[in-house]
């Protein structure tokens, strides 16, 4: 007769082997699902809709963001292309996609843990921005780095959506001035990023009146992308004649209607100043 102690050991071994078999079965199931997923469409929304709540300690680390809001508005201006889903083992999945906006394109990687049924815990978010133009790269890098640390994909994409809209607005306004031959545009080259707008006579690009560094910034208080202007004085007379206009441009936040109004006024000011110098 087998002693009770040996029977207990055998029972424990049996349970361990059974648990291991179940674990291997589940891993095989995940692998087969991963293989099948390569041949069908993958939706990134499945991450957002079932995302695990962000731990409080992660939020405390974010000194630049006062509050993390849930995304209640529709994310617009963003398209996902070449979305794929890869099984990394032990209920860990990695999603990859190309994120496309009007002024920006980058590679996105999101790694999630599905240990808890029906819940996605985001382990890592990485944005590959190496092909981004320097002006855009420098102005978005600070908040992209900060928001990926929070591991809240919906909030990150809502900020990118706002950024895409504000970039399109900036481009529209500058294009209008460029069509009037009163501005030359270049990328900001220092750590601030943004675009440099050289304001000049419509008759000669060499007659520069002022340089505007137009960049965007994520404001922590409002959690919105705002426009920031830094003005370099070139022609003393032009800035002196338009002091109030310059002060109004440097106020924030400036929304669409006010921005368009101020830049229309600036356009008129350039034309009037140029005519006075003839």
Rounded mean pLDDT for each run of 10 residues along the chain, 278 residues in total: 63 69 60 50 57 50 38 62 86 89 90 80 92 91 93 89 93 93 89 92 90 92 89 90 92 90 94 84
Within its chain, how far is the Cα of 145 from the centroid? 9
pTM of the model: 0.77
- Inter-residue contact 271 to 264 (CB < 8 Å): no
Four-CA torsion 239, 244, 246, 251, nearest 10 degrees: 160
* pLDDT for residue 40: 47
Q: Which of 172, 98, 86 is nearest to 128 (CA)?
A: 98
Q: What is the CA radius of gyration of the chain?
A: 27
Whether residue 18 is contained in a domain is answered as no
* pLDDT for residue 222: 78
Of the residues 109, 134, 163, the one at which a domain ends: 163
* pLDDT for residue 79: 86
Instruction: Say how many domains are in the chain.
Output: 2
139 and 235 share a domain? Answer: no
Whether residue 9 is contained in a domain is answered as no
Sheet harboring 183-187: ordered strands across?
183-187, 195-200, 208-219, 224-233
- CA atoms of 83 and 79, how far apart (whole Å): 10
158 and 174 share a domain? Answer: no
* pLDDT for residue 26: 63
- The half-sphere exposure of 232 on its side-chain side, counting CA atoms within 13 A, is 11
* pLDDT for residue 143: 94
* pLDDT for residue 126: 96
Could you list the residue range(s) of the whole structural domain that residue 127 is in? Answer: 45-163
- CA atoms of 182 and 159, how far apart (whole Å): 32
* pLDDT for residue 225: 93
30, two tokens: 């995940």
Q: Which of 36, 35, 44, 153 is nearest to 96 (CA)?
A: 44
Of the residues 136, 163, 190, the one at which a domain ends: 163
């Amino acid at each position: 007769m087998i002693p009770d102690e040996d029977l207990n050991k055998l029972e424990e071994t049996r349970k361990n082997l059974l648990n291991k078999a179940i674990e291997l079965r589940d891993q095989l199931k995940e692998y087969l699902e991963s293989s099948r997923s390569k041949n069908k469409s993958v939706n990134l929304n499945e991450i957002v809709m079932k995302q695990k709540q962000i731990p409080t300690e992660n939020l405390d680390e974010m000194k630049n963001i006062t509050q993390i809001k849930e995304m209640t508005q529709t994310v617009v201006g963003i398209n996902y292309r070449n979305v794929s889903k890869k099984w990394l083992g032990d209920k860990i999945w990695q999603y990859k996609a190309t994120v496309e906006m009007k002024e920006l394109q980058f590679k996105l990687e999101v790694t999630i843990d599905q240990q808890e049924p029906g819940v996605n815990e985001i382990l890592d978010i990485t944005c590959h921005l190496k092909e981004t133009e320097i002006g855009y790269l420098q102005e978005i890098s600070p908040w992209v780095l900060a928001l990926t640390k929070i591991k809240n994909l919906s909030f990150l994409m809502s900020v990118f959506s706002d950024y895409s809209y504000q970039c399109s607005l900036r481009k529209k306004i500058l294009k209008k001035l460029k069509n009037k031959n009163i501005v030359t545009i270049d990328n900001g080259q220092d750590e601030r990023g943004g675009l440099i707008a050289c304001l000049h006579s419509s008759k000669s690009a060499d007659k520069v009146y002022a340089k505007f560094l137009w960049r965007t910034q994520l404001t922590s208080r409002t959690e919105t992308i705002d426009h920031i202007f830094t003005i370099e004085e070139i022609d003393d007379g032009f800035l002196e004649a338009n002091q109030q206009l310059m002060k109004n441009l440097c106020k924030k936040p400036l929304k669409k209607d006010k921005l368009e109004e101020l830049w229309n006024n600036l356009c008129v000011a350039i034309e009037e100043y140029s005519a006075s110098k003839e």
